[in-house]
């Protein structure tokens, strides 16, 4: 089946240009808000707002929720990170539409079943989310924003992320390669 030129996906952006633009976005965010980028804080805000709505007595009696509200007096829905993540989702959708890359597709290696791929994504996402809480931030907050301000913790986080990925890649590469 032939694909017409109008339905063919466009090439990806040059990664060096994309990295430079991401750096400009990070710089603007630090300048405007006084804080870096990060996604895990948005999810924390949504969870806290949900718990406060569903079980307000539990939220009032838990130090975790009261401490969060003391540092965020406008409430969890007014946290700029919530709007950041919503902007990322909307921007990603429009980018996909412009590049003709929208649609549901499960990407996996030839030796992996759909069930294993989905289970791996869910377990990996849950572990990553839990780890971001233990580390007090996700990769974009800890590594990207930390390195932007020359934080030793940010640099060590980035080294740990890439080092761990390179060490584990050997064990998982056969799942993705032919």
- Report pTM: 0.65
Residue 42 has pLDDT above 50, yes or no: yes
Q: What integer pLDDT is reported at residue 123 of this predicted model? A: 93
Residue 74 has pLDDT above 70, yes or no: yes
Q: What integer pLDDT is reported at residue 1 of this predicted model? A: 46
E strand or H helix that includes residue 15:
helix 15-33
Q: What is the mean pLDDT of residues 74-100?
A: 82
Residue 175 has pLDDT above 90, yes or no: no
Residue 4 has pLDDT above 60, yes or no: no
Q: What integer pLDDT is reported at residue 48 of this predicted model? A: 82
Q: What integer pLDDT is reported at residue 122 of this predicted model? A: 94
Taking alpha carbons only, the member of 74, 73, 85 closest to residue 44 is: 85
CA distance 145 to 154: 7
Which has more confidence, 102 or 3?
Answer: 102
Question: For 14, which DSSP code?
Answer: P
Write the pLDDT tens digit of every residue in 93-112: 998 888 888 888 888 888 88
């Amino acid at each position: 089946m032939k694909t017409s030129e109008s339905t063919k996906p466009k090439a990806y952006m040059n990664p060096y240009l994309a990295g430079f633009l991401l750096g400009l976005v990070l710089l603007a965010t630090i300048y405007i808000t006084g804080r870096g980028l990060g996604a895990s804080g948005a999810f924390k805000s949504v969870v806290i707002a949900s718990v406060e709505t569903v079980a307000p007595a539990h939220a009032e009696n838990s130090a975790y929720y009261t401490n969060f509200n003391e540092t965020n007096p406008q409430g969890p829905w007014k946290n700029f990170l919530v709007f950041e993540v919503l902007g990322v989702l909307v921007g990603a959708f429009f980018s996909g539409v412009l590049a003709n890359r929208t649609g549901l597709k499960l990407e996996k290696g030839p030796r992996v079943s759909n069930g294993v791929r989905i289970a791996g994504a869910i377990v990996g996402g849950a572990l990553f989310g839990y780890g971001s809480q233990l580390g007090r931030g996700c990769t974009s907050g800890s590594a990207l924003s930390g390195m932007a301000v020359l934080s030793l913790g940010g640099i060590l986080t980035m080294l740990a992320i890439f080092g761990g990925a390179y060490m584990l890649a050997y064990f998982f590469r056969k799942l993705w390669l032919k």
